[in-house]
Amino acid sequence: MTRTLKSLGLAGIVFLLPLLISVVYPTSDHAFSANAAEKKEPKYKDVKTRKRASVGKTCSKALDRVRGEKSPIAEAGDAEEGVDVTPFFLEAKEMLEDIEKSSKKCSSAYEETQVWSTMGYVYFALDDIPGAAIYYRKIVDSDGAEPEFRLDTRLTLGQFYAAMEKYEMAIEQYEIWAEAAFVVGAQERLTMAQLYYQLERKDDSLRSVKLGISEAEAKGILPKESFWALGTALYNEKNQMDKVIDYLEKLVTHYPKWKYWKQLGGMFGAQERMTDQLVAYEVIYLNGELTKESDVLAMAYMYLGAEVPYRAAKIIEKGIKDKIVEKNFKHYDLLGKSWFLAQHIPQALSSYETASKYSDNGEIQYLIGSTYLDLGQDMMAYKASLKAEKKGGIKKPNANYATMGNALLNMHCYKDAVKAFNKAIKSAKTKRDKRYPAQWIKFANYEGDRMQRLRDVGAKVPSCAV
C-alpha cells in the first residue's frame, strides 16, 4: 500500500504548489517498483531486461521480521489513526542496522538494495528526509539494483533532494529519470519546471511549462493550475505582457481565484486597457473580495477616471459603512467630490460637512460654501465662505471669493458683492481667473444701480438680507 507521510513545498517559487513525496510500503523484493510490476508495458527506454535477481533464504527471513506480516512496519501500518507509530519504526531501524552489520544475512549486491530500500522507507516514516536520501542514493549508485528499480528510486530521490532544498542535486536525478522515461507525468514535469526556476534556469523552466501545457491539451485534459501560474511569473520576468495576460485569462477561466483576477486587473492597467481593468475589478468587488482599503479606493479612482463618479461615490460610501475604508477627512472629502461630480449635491454637502469634523480647514469650508450656493442656500454659502477666508489655506482663494460674491449678489447685497469680486480679482493668478469676477462686478454695479432707481420712484424691491 502507498503511504503519503509528508507534504513538503519548494521554498521561494512563485505560485508553487506543495511537492508530495509518496513512498510505497515495502512488502516484497520489489516493494519500491511495485507499480512498475503491475504494468505490462515498459516504463523506460533502452532498459534491458535481465534475469530477475532474488533474495536468499537467510536475507528473506531477516527482512520478513522487519517488514513482513507481523513485523514492526506492518504494525505501524495497522495502527489506528492518532496512535504514535514512532516506536515501531525505531524498532525496525534497529533491526535493519543489525542486518547491515552482519556479513551473513544480506550480503549480495541485490540483497543490499533491498535492505537500503527498507531503511530509506523507515527514515522517511520517521520524518528524517536526509537519512532516507542517503539510502536511496546508495541504491541508484549500486550495480545490484535492477535498472527499472534504480530509475524509480531516482525519481523519489529527486523529491527528497528538493524537499531538502538541494535543488541542483534534485534536478540532476529528475533529468536522468526523465531522459529514460517513456512518459513524464504532469506532476513530474511541473516539479522540474519549479526546480529550474529555483536554479535561475528560467528558459528551461519555461520550456517545461510550455511542454506540460501542450502535453495536457494534446490529451484533452486541463493543464495543472501551477503550469499557467509559474508561466505567468516567467513571462512577466521576460516582460512579455501579452503572454502574461493570456495565461492569467486561462487561470481566471479554469481556476477562478480572486488573486488571479487582481493580477489580471493590474496587468490590464499596466497595458492601459482601462475598461478591461475596471471589469476585472468589478467582478472582484461584486463578489465581496476587495477587503483592503487601498483596493477599494483604487477602484473608486478607476471609476472617477472613467467619468463614472456615481459608482465611485457608492463604492467609497459602502467601504466606509463596511469599515474597510477609514473614517477621516481625506476619505469624506473624496466622497464629497465624487457625489458633487455625480450631481448629487445634497450628498456632497453631507460628506463635506462630515469631513470638516475631522479637519475644519479653509479648503473644506470653501467646498461647503460652493455646495450651499449650488443648492440655493445663499446665506449658508456666504457664512461658509467667510469661515474659509478666516481659516485660510485655500487652494484657490479667488474661487472662494467668487462664491462669496455670488451668494451676496443673490441676496441683493450688491456693494458687498463687488468688494468680494474685487478680492477675487486680486487673488487670481491668471487673466482667465480675473475675467470671471470682472464680469460679475459689471453686472453687480448695473443691477445695484437699477434697483436703486426703482427705489427712488417708490417701487418695492428686495434689500440686502445680510
Long-range contacts formed by 415-421: CB under 8 A, 24+ apart? 415/448, 416/464, 416/466, 417/444, 418/444, 418/445, 418/448
Surface-to-core class of residue 213, CB atoms within 10 Å of its CB (0-12 exposed, 13-18 middle, 19+ buried): buried
Whether the pLDDT of residue 10 is over 80: the answer is no
Provide the CB-side half-sphere exposure for 262 (13 A, CA).
Answer: 14
The pairing of strands 2-8 and 19-24 is antiparallel
Full set of structural domains in the chain with CATH:
1-34+54-181 (1.25.40), 239-289 (no CATH)
User: How many Å apart are CA 190 and CA 46, to the nearest integer?
Assistant: 24
**Closest to 137 in 3D by CA, of 162, 113, 105, 101:** 113
Distances (CA, A) of 374 to 285, 310, 367, 402: 33, 18, 11, 13
User: How many Å apart are CA 18 and CA 356, to the nearest integer?
Assistant: 52
Backbone angles phi, psi at 7, to 5 degrees: -115, 120
Question: How confident is the model over 154-212, as pLDDT tens digits?
Answer: 999 999 999 999 999 999 999 999 999 888 999 999 999 999 999 999 999 999 999 99
- Residue 394 C-alpha cell reads as 485655500
Whether the pLDDT of residue 354 is over 50: the answer is yes
Q: State residue 418's pLDDT score.
A: 95
Question: How confident is the model over 418-460, as pLDDT tens digits?
Answer: 999 999 999 999 999 999 999 999 999 999 999 999 988 888 9
- Model pTM? 0.73
Backbone angles phi, psi at 444, to 5 degrees: -65, -40
Banded model confidence at residue 461, pLDDT cuts 50, 70, 90: confident
The size of the chain, in residues, is 466
Q: Which residue did the predictor score with more confidence, 53 or 12?
A: 53
User: How many Å apart are CA 29 and CA 149, to the nearest integer?
Assistant: 11
Banded model confidence at residue 21, pLDDT cuts 50, 70, 90: low
User: How many Å apart are CA 283 and CA 290, to the nearest integer?
Assistant: 10
Surface-to-core class of residue 341, CB atoms within 10 Å of its CB (0-12 exposed, 13-18 middle, 19+ buried): middle
State the Rg of the chain over Cα. Answer: 39
Q: Which of 48-62, 142-156, 408-422 has the highest mean pLDDT?
A: 408-422
- Residue 356 C-alpha cell reads as 470638516
- Residue 115 C-alpha cell reads as 535492505
Cβ neighbours, 10 Å, residue 447 = 14
CB 188 within 8 A of CB 155: yes
Q: Which residue has the cell 506543495?
A: 18
Whether the pLDDT of residue 87 is over 60: the answer is yes
Q: State residue 146's pLDDT score.
A: 87
User: How many Å apart are CA 251 and CA 399, to the nearest integer?
Assistant: 51
Q: State residue 30's pLDDT score.
A: 46
> What's the rounded mean pLDDT across residues 341-359?
95
Surface-to-core class of residue 211, CB atoms within 10 Å of its CB (0-12 exposed, 13-18 middle, 19+ buried): middle
Output the furthest CA–CA distance in the chain (Å, rounded): 137
Banded model confidence at residue 125, pLDDT cuts 50, 70, 90: very high
Letter string b/e over residues 126-151, b meaning 16 or more CB atoms within 10 A of that residue's CB:
beebebbbebbbbbbebebbbebbbb
Percent with pLDDT over 90 in the chain: 76
Distances (CA, A) of 147 to 56, 143, 180: 20, 9, 10
Banded model confidence at residue 343, pLDDT cuts 50, 70, 90: very high
Whether the pLDDT of residue 8 is over 50: the answer is no
Give the three-state DSSP class for 53: coil
User: How many Å apart are CA 134 and CA 444, to the nearest integer?
Assistant: 97
Whether the pLDDT of residue 136 is over 80: the answer is yes
> What's the rounded mean pLDDT across residues 271-291?
91
Q: Which residue did the predictor score with more confidence, 265 or 4?
A: 265
Percent with pLDDT over 70 in the chain: 90
- Residue 135 C-alpha cell reads as 539510502
Whether the pLDDT of residue 144 is over 90: the answer is no
Residue 3 host element (H or E): strand 2-8
Mean residue pLDDT of the chain comes to 88
Q: State residue 5's pLDDT score.
A: 28
Question: How confident is the model over 25-60, as pLDDT tens digits?
Answer: 565 554 443 343 344 567 787 666 556 678 888 999
User: How many Å apart are CA 371 and CA 363, to the nearest integer?
Assistant: 12
Question: How confident is the model over 234-270, as pLDDT tens digits?
Answer: 999 999 999 999 999 999 999 999 999 999 999 999 9
Q: Which residue has the cell 515498459?
A: 42
Q: What are the DSSP calls for 233-266, one per residue? A: HHHHHTT-HHHHHHHHHHHHHHS--HHHHHHHHH
